[in-house]
Structure 1
Amino acid sequence: MPPSSMNTMNTLDYPKDLRHKHPHAKMLTRKTPSIASTMDQRFSFSAYVPECHSFDGPSLPLLVVIHGTRRQTERYVNKLEHFCELHGVILLCPLFPAGIIESDDLNNYKDILYKDIRFDSILLSMIHQASRIWRIETDKFFLHGFSGGGQFTHRFMYLHPERIAAVSIGAPGRFTPPDLCKPWPAGVGNISELFGPFKSERPDFEQMSRVPVQFIVGEKDTDVSMLESIKDPNDAEKEAGKTRVERIRWLKKAWEAVGISSELTVVPKVAHDGIKCLPGVESWLKNHLPTGGK
């Protein structure tokens, strides 16, 4: 069985370039096969590589999309194909399967730390691995997640804001407030102990404030059946309200209170549906690409 967690990048030596005559070049352009993580082969990722990409050309921006609880990565790859081609963006969609360690678990990746697995390290290793295959800008990347992916995405932001070019956070049912007095994931008071070493004992709110942030939720995302089944809501979730619309508004205000500005997109006539919210993500995200949306 592969190791469940590693804090260093796997050093498997992928070729730095796959020239056009390489037999795999065609299979690694446009929709790609699912590729196992070299850090931990229980996890994998799919990608979409636009036709403008050249294996010996300039690096392209990277968009990472984190799936929700149903793990529908293929739907995101299909829906974002046009966006990637239009704007010259490489898409990476990790797959964090359910049932890792505990067979009935659905939520392992959402809090970043599960048992001894560091899902932030898994993601960063996937990006490093992908950069050994394709020409990708990896110093900073664009990040979006919806529902369970929105949980992962805003928590990743606390830990690695220096790696994010812009972040879109979609309808998280549960959330971590910027509370320095509560332990993770009810707050951020002990992140250095859990995830360190960091430059300080607290999240770098100043660095977070430099990252463009979108919160996005459907106007009709008001079904509370799943949220009411949660046995241990944290104090902020109890205060914020019962629906995802109320909770995302609360989190936006909480981030603003520590200096992190953001935009809120409420998608008309849409309930809890990440695919139907994607046009709002694309419209916002394209303005933060290096091309300025052109």
Structure 2
Amino acid sequence: MSSAAQASSQPDSEQRGQQLYDLGATSVFSLAADNRFVYTLYVPESLGKTASPPRLVVAVHGTGRQFVDYRNAYAEFGRWNNCVILCPLFPIGVLGDGNRSGFKYIQEGDIRYDQVLLAMVDEVARKYDLDFSTFALTGFSGGGHFVHRFSYLHPERLWALSVGAPGSVTLIDPSRDWWVGTRDLQARFGKALDLAALRRVPVHMIVGKVDLETWEITHKPGSRYYMEGANDAGATRPERIQALKRSLEQAGVRVTLDLVDNMSHQGLRSVEKVQAFLAAVIGGEIR
């Protein structure tokens, strides 16, 4: 093949590569700012062809790290609602100690998982030349831990929040330290709780009525995340999420709770109701 022919084929090859790996259900990308962490995307193939640019929805996995499954579960929603879907992977044992839960509490050693996620959002925005200054954030189980705590630190970045069945909750409580309360938020994270911004975020919560196993969520003295008050929000996930709902509502935050019949701890089963909530926010039915 002549050099001229090779040159003429190059744009076609690059375009084909972008179609295969950067649009639709994408490949898995290493985060440039910290390549211990990766993410996958769904990017609507209509990108650049619609009247309005796409919004961003971030779906955070639980302890099982099913990040690709969540990407696939939200893909059709992204297609029909003109949304990019970002699903991060926060691996187990990033610091070499086998810890399954570091991301849930925002900070693990020198890692700030809120900043890792924001770096992913910024990287994707630059790559696709989009404005993701705000995004929707959803997570179930371990993801539910992370997303409601993230909202305390960065409410101004969110256009919607969905919290699914967290095993433990942080209440808006200025009388108790993190992670049970929010008294030392400024000292710990360098950022105070902005209730005015949080009140502007439509919040959804979801848990199964029969999500009642407690073996994984009861904090015992001497365990990694035990502190005084660790179990005060309730014994089960439904009790704890309702305590979180009351705490947010007392602070003036609007909350919709789906307490689902005949559902245990099933994150992928919750997706349909989360999508209905997000669609209502996009459509202006929930503000």
What TM-score, normalized to structure 2? Answer: 0.88
Deviates more, 1:132-141 or 1:248-257: 132-141
Question: Matches of residues 85-100 of structure 1 in structure 2 within 5 Å?
Answer: 85-100=79-94
Gaps spanning 5+ residues in structure 2: where? 1-10
Q: Corresponding residue for 1:204?
A: 194
Is 1:215 aligned to 2:201, yes or no? no
Is the aligned partner of 1:32 residue 2:22?
Answer: no
Aligned equivalent of 2:106: 112
User: 2:49 and 2:17 mapped to 1: Cα distance?
Assistant: 11
Shift of the alpha carbon at 1:30?
0.5
Question: How far is the alpha carbon of 1:217 from its aligned partner?
Answer: 0.6
Q: Is the 8 A contact 2:171 2:247 kept in 1?
A: yes
**What residue number does 1:4 align with?**
none
In structure 1, the residue matched to 2:245 is 252
2:141 matched to 1:151? no
Deviations along 1:158-216, one digit per CA (max 9) or x if unpaired, are 000000000000000111111112222121111112221x3xxx411121111000011
Give, in angstroms, the shift of residue 225 of structure 1: 1.6
Q: Is the 8 A contact 2:88 2:117 kept in 1?
A: yes
**CA distances 1:211-242 after superposition (whole Å, capped 9, x unpaired):** 00001111211111212364455555533221
RMSD, aligned α-carbons: 2.3
* Counterpart code for 1:226: E
Partner in structure 2 of residue 267 of structure 1: 260
Distance 2:101 2:231 in 1: 20
Q: How many residues align?
A: 272
> Secondary structure of the residue that 2:169 maps to in structure 1?
coil
> Which consecutive unaligned segments of at least 5 residues does structure 1 have?
1-17
From the CA coordinates, give the structure whose radius of gyration is larger: 2
Rounded Cα–Cα distance in structure 2 between residues aligned with 1:84 and 1:56:
13
On the 8 A contact 1:59/1:135 being kept in 2, the answer is no
SS of the aligned residue for 2:178 comes to coil
The one-letter code sitting in structure 1 at the alignment partner of 2:48 is S
SS in 1 for 2:18: coil
SS in 2 for 1:228: coil
User: Equivalent residue of 1:248, what SS?
Assistant: helix
Give, in whole Å, the separation in 1 of the partners of 2:283 and 2:195. Answer: 24
Instruction: Give 2:186's aligned residue.
Output: 192
Measure, in 2, the Cα distance between the counterparts of 1:130 and 1:64.
11
Q: Is the 8 A contact 1:66 1:144 kept in 2?
A: yes
**By how many angstroms is 1:136 displaced?**
3.3
- Taking the aligned partners of 2:269 and 2:201, their CA distance within structure 1 comes to 25
**What amino acid is aligned across from residue 236 of structure 2 in structure 1?**
T
Does the aligned pair in 2 maintain the 1:221–1:245 contact within 8 Å?
yes
**Is the 8 Å Cα contact of residues 219 and 226 (structure 2) preserved in structure 1?**
no
Cα distance in structure 2, aligned partners of 1:172 and 1:217: 9
Mapped partners of 1:21, 1:110: distance in 2: 38
Shift of 1:104: 1.5
Are the counterparts in 2 of residues 215 and 262 from structure 1 also a CA contact under 8 Å? yes
Range with bigger deviation, 26-35 or 226-235? 226-235
Which is further off, 266-275 or 129-138? 129-138
- What code does the residue aligned with 1:136 have? L
Q: Structure 1 vs Structure 2: percent identity of aligned residues?
A: 33
Tell me the equivalent position of 1:7: none
Q: 2:236 aligns with which of 228, 240, 243?
A: 243
User: SS of the counterpart of 2:127?
Assistant: coil
Residue identity matched to 1:156: F
CA separation of 1:35 and 1:158: change in aligned 2, threshold 3 A: same
